[in-house]
Structure 1
Amino acid sequence: MSGLVIQRLTTFTVSVKQFGRVPNILNRLPSSLPSPSPTVSASQVPRLFREPYILTGYRPLHQNWYCYLLSLFQKHNESINVWSHLLAAPLLLLRWWSHFGALGYPSDISALPLCLFIASALTCYFCSSMAHLFQSHSEQAHYYVFFMDYVGVAVYQYGCALGHYFYTSAPGWRATIFGQYFLHGTAFLGLMSSVGCCVAKSRYRKPYPLQRKICQLIPSSQAYFLGISPVVHRLLTVSWGEEPSLKLHALQIVCFLCSAVFFSCPIPERFFPGKCDIFCHGHQIFHILLSLTTLCQLEALFQDFTRNRENIVDIFGENQIWWACVSFPVLAVLCLLVAFVSMKYMHKKLKQD
């Protein structure tokens, strides 16, 4: 199964790399629609929009909003960041629907955490795609769309935690202090992840100090390590031959940790300044690896769900499943409030500047 996932992602990656060979769709649009301006160099955009070692491919600011929408079909240094998630989302949805169909489209409460997992992943992908697509419009738009991106990340973290808790966790782990406070802790850390990223984004300006990275990474990394703890426990205590899903869980952890490296470090563009502007810079690789992480999660969780389906309600009880799932929209609303407060703060700050 892991080979199937890798094969699908490889096909997707090849398709993305052929992006530049596609005929220019913009030339076929009616002349009444605005067309995106040609891309510019880093020196022609404000410091806020410049990325380390990315020298060209920036979209000019203050174009019509339609221009940024139509830049979907333009080559620029955000193209792969947008398309990587726009293409991964329907692939993820198709795999989910295929698995659901194979199980007879279950409608009982035991399948609810799985539905919320796919909803959280699609929310994260949508917010990320929109952020990278529209962030170049203006400084205010840049902040606003990335605040929403952080909402998507927090929701996705909790969606993963629901799947790991109800389908993958072992009784021995649930008896530990991590298991007893797992759902409360992952929800709280998801909210703190959103708060930390919004504060770091709104408070610090380039060149960014170390405090910004700390403010972002501490709550986000804590949320991840707590959320993945039931999976790690099972990987260490159960024979991988007994449960095929464990290989996929191991693969999702490897992919995520590799993606974290590319997110944190500007590689390979650091070693080839100007050569990775459009294709293959670190953030693009991060996006692709994150898509592979989610696909592996989906495949593994479906296997876990299929194996434990008959016992899930008996083990956890309907009330616990309902309360855990009701927490999902509550967390989303709280993260949205954090984003809106951050937007209001940045609006005042930009007016003062």
Structure 2
Amino acid sequence: MSSITEVKRRRVPIGNGNGEGLYKEVLEEKTLYDFHELPEWQQDNDKILTGYIRETKSVLKCVRSLFIWNNETVNIYTHLVSAVSYFLLMLGITDLVMVPHFPTSTFTDYSVINFYLLGAFGCLMCSSCFHTFKQHSGPHSDAWSKVDYMGIIVLITCSMISLIYYGFFDHMEYFRLFTVLTLTLATACTVCVLSDKFNHKDFRPLRAGFFIAFGLSGVFPVAAGIIKFGIQGGVQRVQLKYLGLEAIFYIAGALIYGFRIPETMFPGRFDFWGHSHQIFHVLVVIASFLHLKAVMGSYIFKHSHLNGVGLAALQSTY
């Protein structure tokens, strides 16, 4: 029986009042499974040996697995909690916290900040849903995997466009050029992601490299900004210190995920805590927060510049 509550039989002694040793068979629930007990489609990482929810064939049972400690629990909740947090920020941070500070703020400023928050929310929620529902069945796992990758594409796209806008807020021709470039790359990534071959476990390093390349395409607008406005101007407009840290966290997470560090060196030791996918999730959350810092810093720079505030005042504000 393929179920989250698959059972096994065992014999237990019972008394009959005459002292005779009788036995009866009882059903014993088994919630978690080992790697070798999984169907082939579910065998993705052979360095994670235990703690699996076996295929459920039930959406309700997938939801119930949220309350069972397993090797996907950390993956689910790191991104679920972060997604909800970004959604709450989207509802109030710009209009209640940031935008009222600058009378020069426009509806576009409001929209661009929320555009990034929406992308972060969408990516993290897609990831959480994938890790919750992928054990339903093979077809469901493949479908949710594609949703997960699409969420990553959305996050990268929203991240790029938000910084391009603030980097070239007074040169919209550059904004349009790099936005078209970003959308073109996002479309190419989408075509690859929707390919069933791309989703195979053997292509894990390729997937990691593909998304790294898409993310690093942000070097082009940053370089153009430095050429256009000089090093100091380009760095201030896009808050390069935060972007640099963000890139480090994203790349490190992708490499750790792609090469399955540390479980490939110590199989079975990091089944529930500390395996590569969990580390990747944590680093993604940190990187997304650093990007939010960059977006808000760029927003402050733009309106401080428009209001004639000097660099010292800007730094003290942020």
Same fold (TM over 0.5): yes
For residues 298-337 of structure 1, what are the structure 2 equivalents within 5 Å? 298-309=292-303
CA displacement at 1:239 relative to structure 2: 7.7
Quick one: distance in 2 between partners of 1:241 and 1:159?
Answer: 20
CA displacement at 1:310 relative to structure 2: 7.6
Q: Cα–Cα, structure 1 residues 250 and 174, in superposed 2: closer, same or farther, change >3 Å?
A: farther
CA displacement at 1:63 relative to structure 2: 4.4
1:181 alignment partner, SS class: helix
Q: Residue 103 of structure 1 corresponds to which residue in structure 2?
A: 98
User: Is residue 207 of structure 2 the alignment partner of residue 216 of structure 1?
Assistant: yes
Q: Residue 41 of structure 2 corresponds to which residue in structure 1?
A: 48
Q: Residue 187 of structure 2 corresponds to which residue in structure 1?
A: 191
Asked if the contact 2:135–2:141 (Cα under 8 Å) also holds between the matched residues in 1, the reply is yes
CA displacement at 1:264 relative to structure 2: 1.1
Q: Cα–Cα, structure 1 residues 95 and 299, in superposed 2: closer, same or farther, change >3 Å?
A: farther
Structure of higher RCO (CA pairs closer than 8 Å, 6+ residues apart): 1
Q: Residue 278 of structure 1 corresponds to which residue in structure 2?
A: 272
RMSD of the TM alignment (CA)? 3.2
Q: Residue 247 of structure 1 corresponds to which residue in structure 2?
A: 241
Quick one: distance in 2 between partners of 1:184 and 1:139?
Answer: 36
* Aligned with residue 262 of structure 2, among 254, 265, 268: 268
Quick one: distance in 1 between partners of 2:198 and 2:235?
Answer: 49
CA displacement at 1:60 relative to structure 2: 1.4
For residues 94-133 of structure 1, what are the structure 2 equivalents within 5 Å? 94-95=88-89, 97-98=92-93, 100-104=95-99, 108-133=107-132
Letter in 2 for 1:223: F
Quick one: distance in 1 between partners of 2:237 and 2:153?
Answer: 29
User: Is residue 222 of structure 2 the alignment partner of residue 227 of structure 1?
Assistant: no
Letter in 2 for 1:303: G
Q: Residue 177 of structure 2 corresponds to which residue in structure 1?
A: 181
2:218 alignment partner, SS class: helix
Q: Residue 349 of structure 1 corresponds to which residue in structure 2?
A: none
Asked if the contact 1:170–1:234 (Cα under 8 Å) also holds between the matched residues in 2, the reply is no
Letter in 2 for 1:216: R
2:194 alignment partner, SS class: helix
2:217 alignment partner, SS class: helix
Report % sequence identity.
21
Q: Cα–Cα, structure 1 residues 122 and 41, in superposed 2: closer, same or farther, change >3 Å?
A: same
Unaligned runs of 5+ in 1: 1-35, 313-353
CA displacement at 1:115 relative to structure 2: 1.3
Higher share of residues assigned helix: 1
1:166-211 deviation digits (Å, cap 9, x = unpaired) = 1135989976xxx763111111111211221221xx1268662xxx
Q: Cα–Cα, structure 1 residues 205 and 233, in superposed 2: closer, same or farther, change >3 Å?
A: closer
Quick one: distance in 1 between partners of 2:256 and 2:94?
Answer: 31
Could you state the TM-score of these two structures normalised by the residue count of structure 1?
Answer: 0.67
CA displacement at 1:230 relative to structure 2: 3.1
Higher share of residues assigned strand: 2
- Of 102-111 and 181-190, deviating more is 102-111
Quick one: distance in 1 between partners of 2:238 and 2:156?
Answer: 24
- Of 70-79 and 244-253, deviating more is 244-253
Q: Cα–Cα, structure 1 residues 72 and 107, in superposed 2: closer, same or farther, change >3 Å?
A: farther
Quick one: distance in 1 between partners of 2:304 and 2:199?
Answer: 53
Asked if the contact 1:197–1:215 (Cα under 8 Å) also holds between the matched residues in 2, the reply is no
Unaligned runs of 5+ in 2: 1-28, 307-318
Q: Cα–Cα, structure 1 residues 215 and 150, in superposed 2: closer, same or farther, change >3 Å?
A: same
Could you state the TM-score of these two structures normalised by the residue count of structure 2?
Answer: 0.74
Quick one: distance in 1 between partners of 2:141 and 2:248?
Answer: 31
1:103 alignment partner, SS class: helix
Quick one: distance in 2 between partners of 1:306 and 1:213?
Answer: 39
State the aligned residue count: 269
Quick one: distance in 2 between partners of 1:108 and 1:172?
Answer: 18
